[in-house]
């Protein structure tokens, strides 16, 4: 039932704001392909003049063929198959409504559509936009073969959607990022208080840190011997020391200790993380679940997992089905099958229909185990 981000983080090794967990990017191109495309296009960064607009078809709203002086443009990139893109549509519609009389135009360009021909791509996007009606109330276009995706997305090193670029009043790219996080920069760009240089400097530092993270993640993935794993762990510890507030790095270390070192070392480090986040039920639940599903689990790990799961349960007033699911698993691995069954039944009772279906297999597992006792 539980779907954690740690495997994704370990594979992609991305630095992201806290909101990234609830505003995901859907990666489209493999990293190597994205890098190849980025190298082929002219690099695009904050402070550069915005690339030209070369869409294939305008689907909704007045066509935007160039960036007018004194106007602000949000160039957003999406696809009809992208769940996070679709969930972000109301937000973009609200922004366009709020800034309609302040010289802001939002352009959503569909890219990387999966239909075989351009005609099919346009038909799919048009049908989708027509179905959305007023819920998708901003300008919509469809990329041609690759013009916009290459000159904007790939040039900026963006290989995931949704992504957005804010073009300022002088045609300069002022901001690049996830559209769910652009409210503050958009407001400041419109009112003239935006500090482009500070943002660019922060992005440059983020990119530098990302390179260092990529190096360490490569070491972690390729480490085969005990010596190599220890060396990789030294690199990871160095990252954590430099970025003490980066929770992702700590969770990667915790998972790596469980999988490649020892449960004892994972419990020791996990306890430090848990104590620092003793009032964060999501963090505690994640720590517990990652431990309790390990095939290397021992008694020390079981006790630790149950203790922090019970704390998460306490923080949620015994009413969060995801946390209860974790508590049930803890009781099960500790051998108290009856408590596992009781707790899992409560989780199912509190869950919505879809979640309840996903929790049922665990209950069946526990009941079958009980029948064998």
Q: What is the pLDDT of residue 145?
A: 81
Buried b (16+ CB within 10 A) or exposed e, 305-326: bbebbbbbbebbeeebbbbbbb
Whether pLDDT at 278 is above 80: yes
Q: What is the pLDDT of residue 96?
A: 97
Q: What is the pLDDT of residue 42?
A: 66
Whether pLDDT at 35 is above 80: no
**Mean pLDDT value across residues 220-249:** 86
What would you report as the CA-atom Rg of the chain, rounded to the nearest whole angstrom? 24
Q: What is the pLDDT of residue 2?
A: 56
Distance, first Cα to last Cα, the chain? 25
Kindly indicate the confidence band of residue 20, based on its pLDDT and cuts at 50, 70 and 90.
Answer: very low
**pLDDT cut 90: percent of the chain above it:** 70
Contact 77, 153 (CB under 8 A): yes
Report the length, in residues, of the chain.
373
Q: Enumerate the β-bridge partners of residue 366.
A: none
Q: Enumerate the β-bridge partners of residue 149.
A: none
Mean pLDDT for all residues in the chain: 88
Contact 176, 163 (CB under 8 A): yes
Q: Which two tokens stand for residue 54?
A: 């070369």
**Mean pLDDT value across residues 202-215:** 82
**pLDDT cut 70: percent of the chain above it:** 89
In this structure, the strands spanning 104-110 and 72-78 are parallel
Whether pLDDT at 1 is above 60: no
Q: Is 233 exposed, middle or buried (0-12, 13-18, 19+ CB in 10 A)?
A: buried
DSSP state of 154: I
The number of beta carbons lying within 10 Å of the beta carbon of residue 31 is 12
DSSP state of 145: S
3-class secondary structure, 5: coil
DSSP state of 207: H
In the chain, CATH 1.25.40.10 sits at 283-373
Closest CA to 124 of 111, 138, 107, 137: 111
The larger pLDDT score, comparing residue 232 to residue 335, is at: 335
238: CB partners within 8 A, 6+ apart: 216
Highest-pLDDT range among 29-38, 235-244, 320-329: 320-329
Domain 283-373: CATH superfamily, name plus number:
Tetratricopeptide repeat domain (1.25.40.10)
**Mean pLDDT value across residues 100-127:** 95
Kindly indicate the confidence band of residue 369, based on its pLDDT and cuts at 50, 70 and 90.
Answer: very high
3-class secondary structure, 59: strand
Rounded Cα distance between 25 and 15, Å, is: 13
**CATH code for residues 40-194:** 3.40.30.10
Rounded Cα distance between 165 and 189, Å, is: 12
In the chain, CATH 3.40.30.10 sits at 40-194
Q: What share of the chain is helix, strand, coil (3-state, %, to 5)?
A: 60, 10, 30
Least confident among 51-60, 136-145, 153-162, 320-329: 153-162
């Amino acid at each position: 039932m539980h779907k954690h981000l740690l495997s994704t983080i370990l594979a992609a090794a991305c630095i992201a704001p806290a909101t990234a967990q609830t505003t995901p990017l859907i990666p489209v191109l493999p990293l190597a392909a994205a890098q190849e495309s980025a190298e082929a296009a002219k690099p695009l960064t904050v402070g550069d003049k915005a690339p030209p607009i070369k869409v294939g078809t305008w689907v909704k709203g007045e066509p935007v063929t160039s960036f007018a002086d004194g106007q602000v443009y949000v160039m957003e990139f999406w696809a009809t198959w992208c769940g996070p893109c679709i969930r972000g549509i109301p937000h973009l519609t609200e922004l366009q409504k709020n800034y309609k009389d302040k010289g802001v135009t939002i352009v959503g360009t569909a890219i990387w559509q999966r239909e075989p021909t351009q005609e099919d791509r346009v038909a799919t996007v048009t049908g989708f936009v027509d179905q959305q009606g007023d819920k998708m109330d901003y300008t919509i276009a469809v990329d041609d073969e690759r013009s916009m995706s290459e000159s904007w997305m790939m040039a900026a090193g963006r290989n995931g959607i949704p992504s957005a670029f804010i073009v300022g009043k002088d045609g300069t790219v002022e901001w690049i990022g996830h559209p769910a996080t652009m409210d503050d920069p958009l407001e400041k760009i419109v009112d003239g208080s935006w500090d482009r240089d500070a943002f660019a400097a922060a992005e440059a530092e983020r990119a530098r840190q990302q390179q260092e993270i990529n190096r360490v993640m490569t070491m972690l993935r390729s480490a085969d011997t005990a010596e190599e794993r220890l060396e990789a762990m030294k690199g990871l510890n160095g990252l954590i020391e430099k970025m003490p507030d980066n929770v992702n790095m700590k969770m990667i270390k915790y998972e790596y200790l469980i999988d490649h070192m020892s449960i004892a070392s994972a419990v020791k480090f996990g306890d430090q993380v848990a104590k620092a986040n003793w009032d964060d039920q999501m963090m505690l639940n994640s720590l517990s679940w990652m431990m309790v599903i390990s095939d290397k689990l021992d008694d020390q790990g079981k006790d630790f997992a149950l203790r922090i799961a019970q704390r998460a349960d306490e923080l949620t007033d015994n009413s969060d089905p995801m946390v209860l699911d974790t508590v049930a698993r803890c009781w099960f691995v500790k051998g108290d099958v009856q408590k596992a069954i009781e707790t899992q039944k409560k989780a199912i009772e509190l869950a919505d229909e879809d979640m309840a279906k996903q929790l049922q297999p665990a209950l069946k597992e526990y009941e079958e185990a009980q029948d064998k006792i």
